[in-house]
């Protein structure tokens, strides 16, 4: 029965891909009772949930395999047309197709449940890419998907009045003082104040370490006085270095824990352990690791729909800053590595998935 369903879905998707349709026939993929819920609605039964999860998994594998098979077919056809068809173009074609498949995956998972967790298929992208890559005639497809909403949003450090958001400032300071980054208290203050001045619209230097236009003009560029557009923009801030941003030796870089995409709230289901540790002065690494273990346990899946699940582990009276916590996400980054023959290409893309609309591409960069 399962084999028959997989085959049926594959054929439908394959047929759609060949016809160039972007939108898949969700009606045909609905369970017989027509109970596929919209994003944000409650699910009717656990069997319904399992059904949706199974369908999502089947569709994702079918999508990625279809992408690769289509790629092989197109590549062979185009090679016959032009002998100058370069590996570079073929890699780009495969990368675009793969990111489109990921957009479909995120759309489907968004329809299945309102919460986003590390138990979902997007978080197991490596194995999905391996499955799809197995259908490649030559080459390797590797990749990861990361929830950008599990990170601290750089632009949320400053409120509409141009002042520090206290909760966000605390998050920054608690994160950056972790020994993994090897930063002194002066360095931390310089980064936090520098970022605040970069965003705020005024030209008043914050504290003794901040910097405004007069400082940056000497470097040949102006102060943004507005929101960050990319996370790499942090490298322009006074006090920031390549070593701090990317890491060096045993020191970890800070770049994996900040984002410019998504919302101010952090998804407690997907935030990396160091970000969990930044939620409270009382949060130890052991506690954060225990939270991480809890949210990766399939038997706790239902609990993850409510951001207060942490209380089942949290031993302290003081609550975590729940206003800055969420269980759902609207921005995901894809890191893709495609190898064909001697050519290798890495792509970083960011996909936005606002509720009630199809995912869209926010960012695309060939590394």
The interface with Ca ion within residues 113-172 (CB under 5 A) comprises none
- Confirm or reject binding of residue 4 to Ca ion (CB under 5 A): no
- Confirm or reject binding of residue 222 to Ca ion (CB under 5 A): no
When the beta carbons of 203 and 281 are compared against Ca ion, the nearer one is 203
Part of the chain binding Ca ion (CB under 5 A), chosen from 71-79, 220-228, 234-242, 347-355: 220-228
When the beta carbons of 106 and 154 are compared against Ca ion, the nearer one is 154
- Confirm or reject binding of residue 202 to Ca ion (CB under 5 A): yes
Q: Which 3-state string (H, E, C) describes the chain?
A: CHHHHHHHHHHHHHHHHHCCCCCCCHHHHCCCCCCCCCCCCCCCCHHHHHHHHHHHHHHHHHHHHHHHHHHHHHHHHHHHHCCCCCHHHHHHHHHHHHHHHHHHHHHHHHHHCCCCCCCCHHHHHHHHHHHHHCCCCCCEEEEEEEEHHHCEEHHHHECCCCCECHHHHHHHHHHHCCHHHCCCHHHHHHHHHHHHHHHCCCCCCCCCCCCCHHHHHCCCCCCCCCCCCCHHHHHHCCCCCHHHHHEECCEECCHHHEECCCCCCEECCCCCHHHHHCCCCCCCHHHHHHHHHHHCCHHHHHHHHCHHHHHHCCCCCCCCCHHHEECCCCEEEEEEEEEECCEEEEEEEEEECCCCCCCEEEEEEEC
When the beta carbons of 148 and 197 are compared against Ca ion, the nearer one is 197
Name the minimum Å distance from CB 221 to Ca ion: 14
Q: Which of 204, 286, 298, 342 binds Ca ion (CB under 5 A)?
A: 204
Name the minimum Å distance from CB 215 to Ca ion: 10
Name the minimum Å distance from CB 265 to Ca ion: 25
Name the minimum Å distance from CB 321 to Ca ion: 25
When the beta carbons of 146 and 154 are compared against Ca ion, the nearer one is 154
When the beta carbons of 2 and 204 are compared against Ca ion, the nearer one is 204
Paired with 248 in beta bridges are: 251
Q: Which of 74, 225, 230, 305 binds Ca ion (CB under 5 A)?
A: 225
Part of the chain binding Ca ion (CB under 5 A), chosen from 223-231, 286-294, 321-329, 345-353: 223-231
Size of the site for Ca ion (CB under 5 A): 5
CB-count burial class (<10 Å; 0-12, 13-18, 19+) for 361: middle
Part of the chain binding Ca ion (CB under 5 A), chosen from 113-121, 125-133, 217-225, 264-272: 217-225
Part of the chain binding Ca ion (CB under 5 A), chosen from 24-32, 126-134, 219-227, 273-281: 219-227
- Name the residue whose CB lies closest to Ca ion: 197
Q: Give the closest residue to 326 by CA, choosing from 311, 341, 306, 300.
A: 306
Binding mask 171-200 for Ca ion (x = CB under 5 A): --------------------------x--x
When the beta carbons of 204 and 342 are compared against Ca ion, the nearer one is 204
Name the minimum Å distance from CB 226 to Ca ion: 9
Q: Which residues bind Ca ion (CB under 5 A)?
A: 197, 200, 202, 204, 225
């Amino acid at each position: 029965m399962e084999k028959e369903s997989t085959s049926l879905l594959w054929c439908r998707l394959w047929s759609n891909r060949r016809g160039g349709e972007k939108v898949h026939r969700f009606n045909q993929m609905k369970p017989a009772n027509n109970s596929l819920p919209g994003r944000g609605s409650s699910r009717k039964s656990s069997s319904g949930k399992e059904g949706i999860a199974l369908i999502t998994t089947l569709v994702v594998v079918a999508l990625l395999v279809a992408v690769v098979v289509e790629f092989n077919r197109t590549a062979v056809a185009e090679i016959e047309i032009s002998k100058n068809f370069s590996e570079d173009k073929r890699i780009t074609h495969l990368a675009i197709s793969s990111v489109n498949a990921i957009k479909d995956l995120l759309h489907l998972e968004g329809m299945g449940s309102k919460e986003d967790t590390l138990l979902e298929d997007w978080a197991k992208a490596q194995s999905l890419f391996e499955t799809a890559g197995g259908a490649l005639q030559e080459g390797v497809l590797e990749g990861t998907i990361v929830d950008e909403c599990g990170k601290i949003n750089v632009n949320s450090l400053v409120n509409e009045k141009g002042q520090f958001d206290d909760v966000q400032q605390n998050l920054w300071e608690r994160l950056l003082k972790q020994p993994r980054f090897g930063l002194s208290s002066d360095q931390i203050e310089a980064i936090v104040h520098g970022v605040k001045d970069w965003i705020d619209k005024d030209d008043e230097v914050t504290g003794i370490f901040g910097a405004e236009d007069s400082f940056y003009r000497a470097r040949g560029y102006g102060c943004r006085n507005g929101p960050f557009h990319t996370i790499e923009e942090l490298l322009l801030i006074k006090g920031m270095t390549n070593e701090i941003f990317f890491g060096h030796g045993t020191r970890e870089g800070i770049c994996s824990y900040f984002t410019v995409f998504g919302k101010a709230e952090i998804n407690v289901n997907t935030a990396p352990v160091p970000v969990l540790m930044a939620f409270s002065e009382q949060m130890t690494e052991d506690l954060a690791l225990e939270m991480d273990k809890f949210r990766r346990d399939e038997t706790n899946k239902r609990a993850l729909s409510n951001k207060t699940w942490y209380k089942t582990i949290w031993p302290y009276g003081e609550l975590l800053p729940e206003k800055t916590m969420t269980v759902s996400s609207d921005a995901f980054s894809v890191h893709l590595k495609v190898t064909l023959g001697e050519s290798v290409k890495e792509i970083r893309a960011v996909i936005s998935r606002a509720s009630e609309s199809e995912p869209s591409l926010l960012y695309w960069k060939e590394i």
